[in-house]
Structures are given as structure tokens and as C-alpha cells.
Amino acid sequence: MAAADARAICPELITRRADLAQEAAALAGLRRWAGRYSPMVARDGPDGLIADISGVPHLFGGEAEMRAHLHARLERVGLTLSSAIAETRGAAQALARHSGGILPEGAAKEGIASLPVSSLRIGSDVAEGLARMGLNRIGDLVDLPRAPLARRFGPGLVLRLDQALGLQPEPVSPEADAPYFGVRMTMPEPIGLEADVMSGLARLLDRLCSTLAHHHRGARRLRLELHRVDRETAQVEIGLARPMRDPERIAALFKKGVSEVEAGFGIEAMRLVAHVTEDLPPEQVGGPRTIAREDALADLFSRLGNRLGFDRVLRLLPAASKIPERSFLVAPAAYSAAEPPPPQRGPDRPIIIFPPEPVITKGLGQPGHPPARFAWRRMSCTTLRADGPERIAPEWWFDDPAWRSGLRDYWRVETREGARLWLYHTPQAPAWPAQSWFAQGEFA
């Protein structure tokens, strides 16, 4: 039913946008919780769970008690549910979506006979076709010969019918849980010494790193939670410059954070979680010297990044742009790989670049040529020689405020004082001739 129709029927209707991702997450959480009733719990469509409870109900005192237990638990947290227990998956699914209840063993055929055919997990076109034939209930189908049914409505209908009646097997296959990279440790006595925390951390790291190695993963960020006796929790979080699962090198990075933790009356439990992990296939270690050097460099970036922030440890990457500021990217070294810049072509570029600095011109030069004398950073300079212009046009597909003044004519200006500067002026900018020259770089 469209939302407009629903609102026409009931004008007071309150509507909310469906959040499918969050619903799926909630269902996944419920699926994990339902593991208390059976080891085999799987999702059943976007709105249901199916559990194989063979051999389980007697632990709860019977099927009816088990179902009551489930309802009581979920109603207490505010969920509305409907459930059914039957000997086949199809029958339980059909019953749960219509009235709910318990079908004793061998009663599946009679139990679902009164349900509409659409509860058999068949397409709406098949259900409509059956309705046109006057077959509205499952009971109408059960006794019909199978061959004409299959010929008319396809094998899907017969398969679903057989599955509901138990003539075809339909196992419950629970999906595997995503690996969880977290370990914890509870102390028999509260600890307070830094060395004790570090040795506990070493044990946790050994376990965590073997889990990581088993799944071919490497940790990228780790969090250590220290639970104190007085119910306070201290957290130490570190980042790594690249995925890693080497306990000793990770422990070295925790040292500074752990030394700053206030132990209070003692720490009674520790929990270590690698909450960001990346793929790390097994690789050769201790080989040629370059590998050791790369490891040392990655360790250095981890240390620097944990104190300064990973956005302050950078690398220059080439970019395809003629605009000087955008001709290279400055990217965090921990999240990028070095790329050799393309071969240099065209006019020279300065070694040092800075944001445009206005240059105060003194005396008028030739129009369009660099000024004969100018002041830059309070130094007065005299132009000895000027090479140019090199005209760079703004990239119209980016709206860069710095380039709204239009074209730039770049000149390499040698001054009598020695400095070799990269000056530009903007011929398209509205005239204020005293302020149309800027310095943007210094050559070698």
C-alpha cells in the first residue's frame, strides 16, 4: 500500500522512514541473543529468525514453556513478536506469520491446512494463480496430484509444499559470526604497578595476535580498557602506521599511554580490542635489509603518529593538475603508499612553495612585466632578470576561491639581492595595479 493511500484511510497516521541497515543490525543482535535457545539460529527474511531446537525444549521444561519463556523475555524489553514451533521449517514459518502456536509432532499437515497459500513462501503471481483456481488454503493443495500442479505453477510451489509437509528436507544453516578481535583478563588481585600492567598486556597481546594471525588480519587501531576496583574505566588507544600483529612492537607503543593511567586502588580487569583491522596476509619476515628498514620506518611513523596525530605525518604524492597548489597531494603517510612522480616536463618549478604573498611594487615597470623594484617580506628587491610568462588557467571544474581572480602569469624572477622568486600576476583581475603581483615560491 502506498503511503498516500494509507494516509487517506487514516489521516492521523504517523510515518517514519524505514532504516533498513539499523533494522538488519537489530535483527543480527537478536540472532546472537537467540543463541541461548539453540546453537542453530539463522535469519529468516528481513523480519524473522528461525532456530533448530531439536533436543533443546526439555531443558526449559517443554515446548510450551520454552515459547512462554521467549515471549516473556522479549516482551519485557518491549518487543512484540509472534512465534511458532513445528516439525518442519516451512510449517513453523507459515504458522508464525499467521497465528503462532505449537504444532505437535505429526500434526503439521492438519495444522497448516487452514492457512492461506501465500504463507508458503511463493511468489504473489503464483498465489494469485492459485486463488483464481479456487485454491485458497494450503489444505486445498495437499491432496491434489503433484504433476499437474508442477506443470501449471512450476516446481517451486511443489517444493515449498513438500518442505512444509516434511517430505523434502530443509535444514537451518546459521551464518558464521564475524571474527571478533578482543581479549580480556581478570586479575585474582588488583594490580597497580606499571610493569604488572605491561606484563598483563603482553599476555593479552600474545592471544590477540595469534587470533589475528589465524584470520590473516593485522590490527590498525587498538584500545586497552583498564577496569579499576572503584568501577572506573581507563582507556588507552593507539594507532599503527600499517597493519601489524607483532606483540612486542605493539606493546612498545602502549608504554607511554599506560604510564599516564591513574591506577587508583588497583586494576582488576583488562580488556584489549583491535577495533580496526585490515587484511595482512602472511609475508616473509627478517629477509633482506630493506624489509627491516621498512619495519623500522613503520615503527617510527607509529610512534610519531600516536603522539602528534596521524594527520601530521605526511607524504607527498603526485597529482594530475597544472595548478601549483594542487600539483601534489599531501597525504597521511600511514594511509598511503609512495608513488614516483611522473617525469618532469615544462618549465621549472620552485623548491619551496607557500601561499601567495602580496608583493609591494615600487616604481612602474613595463605593463605585464615584473616590476623593476619591489618589496617582498620587507626586503626590497631589484629585478635582474625575469623569465616568463608561463600562463596557468584556473580549473573551471573546481571553484577555488584563491583562483577566482582568473588567469595567472608566472614569472621566474632573479633579483640582484640573490633570491630567485616565483612571482605571478593576474591580468584578468579588476585593476588595482599596485596589488596585482604575488610571490608564491622560491627557486634553488
Task: Give me the residues that bind another protein (CB under 8 A), please.
Answer: 292-297, 299-301, 303-304, 307-308, 312-318, 324, 327-328, 330, 333, 338-341, 344, 348-355, 384-385, 414-420, 441-444
Q: Which is nearer to another protein, 10 or 320 (CB)?
A: 320
Residue appearing with cell numbers 517444493: 159
Q: Output 265 or 335, the one with its CB closest to another protein.
A: 335
Taking the C-alpha atoms of residue 146 and residue 166, their distance in angstroms, rounded to an integer, is: 15
Q: How far apart are CA 348 and CA 344, in angstroms?
A: 8
User: Closest CB to another protein among 120 and 238?
Assistant: 238
Instruction: State the nearest-atom distance from the C-beta of 239 to another protein, in Å.
Output: 15
DSSP state of 181: -
**Please, are residues 83 and 96 in contact by the beta-carbon 8 Å criterion?**
yes
C-alpha–C-alpha distance, residues 185 and 208, integer Å: 12
- State in angstroms the smallest separation of the CB of 26 from another protein: 42
- Residue with smaller CB distance to another protein, 10 or 444: 444
Q: How far apart are CB 254 and another protein at their closest, in Å?
A: 16
Give 121 or 408: the residue with its C-beta nearer to another protein: 408
- Minimum distance of another protein from residue 347's CB (angstroms): 10
For the CB of residue 290, give the shortest distance to another protein in the complex, in Å: 9
Q: What is the dihedral of CA 213, 216, 217, 223, to 10 degrees?
A: -20
CB nearer to another protein: pick between 275 and 307: 307
Residues 6+ apart with CB under 8 A from 27: 43, 46, 47, 49
Nearest to 157 by CA among 189, 185, 122, 184: 122
What are residue 154's phi and psi, to 5 degrees? 85, 165
Q: How far apart are CA 85 and CA 102, in angstroms?
A: 5
**Residue whose C-alpha is closest to residue 425's, from 364, 367, 345, 340:** 367
Residue 223 beta carbon to another protein: minimum distance, rounded to whole angstroms: 23
The number of C-alpha atoms within 13 Å of 67 and in the hemisphere containing its C-beta is 14
Nearer to another protein, 172 or 319 (CB): 319
Q: Closest separation between CB of residue 287 and another protein, Å?
A: 15
Instruction: List C-alpha distances in Å: 192 to 29, 260, 267.
Output: 36, 12, 6
CB of 387 to another protein, least distance (A): 9
Nearer of residues 151 and 307 to another protein, judged by Cβ: 307
- Answer for the pair 315, 333: CB distance below 8 angstroms, yes or no: yes
Residues sharing a CB contact under 8 Å with residue 63, sequence separation 6 or more, in sequence order: 53, 57, 85, 102
Q: How far is the CB of 229 from another protein (least distance, A)?
A: 34
Give min distance, CB of 182 to another protein, in A: 30
Q: Judged by CB, which is closer to another protein: 100, or 365?
A: 365
- Closest to another protein by CB, 60 vs 328, is 328
- For 122, 230, 268, the CA distances from 152, given in Å and listed in that order, are 14, 72, 69
